[in-house]
Structure formats: structure tokens, C-alpha cells
């Protein structure tokens, strides 16, 4: 009667693998929430999105290949769910002018006397203004900033998660950061944004 | 792209510089300019600080109740 024994062992191994997978996924929850919170407008929506992501991840645990990038796998579920939730109905046209260069925000702070020769000029900005400015960045650009600058994903990982070419990740990131600075300048020193 | 000045070119190199995307020769060129130019050095320093600040400002801790809800989604053994 070797077969039932083999089956029992297989079931036990699978249960162990699953439990280990779930533990590993749960260990990433702080990082997942940090990203989710900036992808959607409210805390409630972020909490719902994270819960849905975890419910789906636990259900589809067999589709994860052990040893591959679990964090990116999880984040891909989250961004797909976010798209499914209908947030993407109105796509942002990629026509926003980009005349401000990368020195724009510093120059604005300097013009208004807020950038003196001090160490941490950046602290003249308020945390709220940063959060608000980021929420005003069109989502195609914001998603990349959130993944790379807040979630610590590489360009390659962000490309995989968002299913876009790596060149698009880089151009959106570059442009998104400029839009963010422009928004910050508008909010902080009343410049045009 | 034609640049009016070295500082303008340095401004264009700021993001790829901080992202470590420049070629060795571009990086050396940018570095040599920053070492010499207080105007650009201040702006590069500011950009580094800004990235760090954005990261900190946007780091909202996960509510403990959510953590408990996620743990409850685990499969019962």
C-alpha cells in the first residue's frame, strides 16, 4: 500500500510549501501597503486593494514559481487589480508640456529666498505638500515614481509589474519627477505648475 | 540636443546621474563639472535630498488591523 502513503506525503509537502509561501507573502505586507497607499487616493481604498491582493495571491499561490521575484509577482497582482477596479477608465493624454527642467524647483525656492546655503533645504517643503503633489501627478507617471522611488523596485521590475517596456519606465520616471517638482513648486512657492 | 551652457547639459544629466545610468565618460564629465560648479552642485545635492524626502513623506505605516486581516486570510492547516 505505497500509494496512499505517497499521496499523504505529497499533501503534507504541499501544505508545508503553501504555509511557507503565505508567510513569505505576509512578510512583504508593509512594503505592499506603502506602494498601494500612494497608488490610490484614500487609505480605505489602499486597505481594500491590499486585502484583495492578498486574497488573490493566496488563491493563486501555485502560479508563483519558487525562487523568482515574489515582491514583483505580488505587486503585479496589485496593479492589475487596481486596473480592474476601473481607475484607469480615463487615460491621461501624454501631452503635458515639459518646459521646466530639473533645476526648476530649486530655482523657485532660491528666487523666493527659501533656498539659502543651508544643509537641508528640502526640509522647507512640508510632508503634506509632497504627498499632495504626488497625488496630482497623472497616474501613468505616478505609478512609476511610486514603484521605483517609494517601493524600491528596479526599472526592470517596474517594467515587468506594469507590463511596459523598460524605456517607457525610464521616460515616465524622468518626466513624472519633473511634474512632481513642478507641482511642489506651485504648492510651496506659488509658482506656475 | 544643443545646450546653451555646460550647466544646462549638467541639468539634463541630473536624473540619469543619480540613477547611475550614465556611461563612464558621461559620468566623469558630469562629476568634473559638479566638482567645479557650486551652482550645479547645490542643485544635485538638493535633488538627492528631495528623493529621500519624498520617500519619507510618503511612507505611511500599515494599520495594525490590516496586518491582522491579512494574516487571517491564510489557509488553515
- Check residue A190 and give its pLDDT: 63
| Any B CB within 8 A of A120 CB | yes
- Does residue A96 sit within a domain? no
pLDDT at residue A108, as a whole number: 86
Same domain, A13 and A52: yes
The CATH number covering residue A9 comes to 1.10.1740.10
Q: Does any domain span residue A16?
A: yes
Interchain proximity B70–A54, CB inside 8 Å = yes
Contact B66 A38 (CB under 8 A): no
A101 lies within 8 A of chain B by CB: yes
Determine contact, residues A124/A114, Cβ cutoff 8 Å: yes
- CATH number for A179: 1.10.10.10
**Residue B73 near residue A53 (C-beta atoms within 8 A):** no
Q: Give pLDDT tens digits for B6-16.
A: 888 899 899 88
Grid coordinates of A181: 517638482
Q: Do B43 and A34 touch (CB under 8 A)?
A: no
- Can you give the pLDDT at residue A127? 87
Same domain, A65 and A111: no
Fill in the DSSP letter of residue A122.
G
Q: Is A33 on the interface with B (CB under 8 A)?
A: yes
Q: What is the pLDDT of residue A192?
A: 44
Domain boundary among the residues A64, A89, A114 is at A89
Instruction: Mark which of A89, A115, A136 sits at the end of a domain.
Output: A89
Residues in chain A within 8 Å Cβ distance of B42: 106, 115, 117
Question: Which residues in chain A are closer than 8 Å to B72, comparing Cβ atoms?
Answer: none
Inform me whether the C-beta atom of residue A47 falls under 8 Å from chain B C-beta atoms: yes
CA neighbor of A79 nearest in space, from A164, A181, A190: A164
- Residue A134 contacts B where some CB pair is shorter than 8 Å: yes
DSSP collapsed to 3 states, B30-45: HHHHHHHCHHHHHHHH
Question: Same domain for A56 and A18?
Answer: yes
DSSP H or E segment with residue A20: helix A2-27
**Residues A115, A63 share a domain:** no
Look up cell 492578498; give the residue.
Answer: A54
Domain-embedded: residue A51: yes
Residues A50 and A115 in one domain: no
DSSP state of A118: -
Domain count, chain A: 2
Give the DSSP H/E element, type plus range, for residue A150.
none
Over pLDDT 90: what percentage of chain B? 66
pLDDT at position A92 is 55
A115 and A171 inside one domain: yes
The whole-number pLDDT of residue B35 equals 94
pLDDT of residue A24: 96
Q: Which domain holds residue A124?
A: 104-189
* pLDDT beyond 80 at B20: yes
State residue A131's pLDDT score. Answer: 93
Min Cα distance A22 → chain B (Å) is 7
Q: Are residues A112 and A83 in the same domain?
A: no
Q: Is residue A137 part of a domain?
A: yes
User: Per the CB < 8 Å rule, is A51 touching B70?
Assistant: yes
Task: Kindly indicate the confidence band of residue B19, based on its pLDDT and cuts at 50, 70 and 90.
Answer: confident
pLDDT of residue A19: 93
Same domain, A109 and A85: no
* Chain A: closest CA distance from residue B43 (Å): 6
Does residue A49 sit within a domain? yes
Number of Cβ atoms within 10 Å of the Cβ of A111: 12
Instruction: Please report whether residue A124 resides in a domain.
Output: yes
Is B43's CB within 8 Å of A30's CB?
A: no
- Are A43 and B63 a contacting pair at CB < 8 A? yes
For residue A97, tell me if it sits in a domain.
no
pLDDT 10s per residue in chain A (193 long)? Answer: 557 788 899 999 889 999 999 999 999 999 999 999 999 999 999 999 999 999 999 999 999 999 999 999 999 999 999 988 875 545 555 565 665 789 989 988 888 776 565 566 787 788 899 999 999 999 899 999 999 999 999 999 999 999 999 999 999 999 999 999 999 988 877 644 3
Coil vs helix vs strand at A53: helix
Q: What is the pLDDT of residue A193?
A: 39
Nearest to B56 by CA among A155, A182, A50, A34: A34
User: What pLDDT does residue A191 have?
Assistant: 45
pLDDT at A63: 94
Residue B76: DSSP 8-state? P
Report pLDDT for A138.
92
Amino acid at each position: 500500500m505505497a500509494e496512499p502513503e505517497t499521496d499523504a506525503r505529497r499533501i503534507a509537502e504541499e501544505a508545508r510549501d503553501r504555509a511557507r509561501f503565505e508567510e513569505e507573502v505576509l512578510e512583504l505586507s508593509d512594503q505592499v501597503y506603502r506602494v498601494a497607499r500612494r497608488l490610490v487616493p484614500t487609505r480605505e481604498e489602499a486597505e481594500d486593494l491590499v486585502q484583495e491582493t492578498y486574497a488573490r495571491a493566496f488563491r493563486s499561490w501555485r502560479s508563483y514559481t519558487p525562487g523568482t521575484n515574489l515582491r514583483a509577482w505580488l505587486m503585479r497582482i496589485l496593479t492589475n487589480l487596481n486596473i480592474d477596479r476601473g481607475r484607469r477608465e480615463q487615460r491621461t493624454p501624454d501631452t503635458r508640456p515639459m518646459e521646466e527642467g530639473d533645476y526648476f524647483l530649486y530655482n523657485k525656492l532660491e528666487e523666493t529666498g527659501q533656498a539659502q546655503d543651508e544643509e537641508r533645504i528640502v526640509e522647507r517643503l512640508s510632508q503634506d505638500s509632497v504627498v499632495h503633489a504626488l497625488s496630482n501627478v497623472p497616474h501613468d507617471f505616478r505609478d512609476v515614481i511610486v514603484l521605483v522611488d517609494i517601493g524600491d523596485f528596479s526599472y526592470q521590475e517596474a517594467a515587468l509589474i506594469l507590463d511596459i517596456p523598460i524605456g517607457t519606465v525610464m521616460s515616465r520616471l524622468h518626466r513624472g519627477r519633473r511634474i512632481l517638482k513642478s507641482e511642489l513648486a506651485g504648492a510651496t512657492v506659488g509658482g506656475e505648475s | 540636443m544643443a545646450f546653451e551652457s555646460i550647466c544646462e547639459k549638467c541639468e539634463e544629466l541630473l536624473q540619469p546621474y543619480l540613477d547611475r545610468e550614465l556611461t563612464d565618460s558621461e559620468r566623469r564629465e558630469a562629476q568634473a563639472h559638479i566638482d567645479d560648479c557650486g551652482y550645479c552642485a547645490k542643485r544635485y545635492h538638493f535633488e538627492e535630498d528631495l528623493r529621500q524626502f519624498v520617500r519619507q513623506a510618503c511612507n505611511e505605516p500599515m494599520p495594525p488591523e490590516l496586518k491582522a486581516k491579512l494574516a487571517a486570510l491564510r489557509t488553515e492547516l
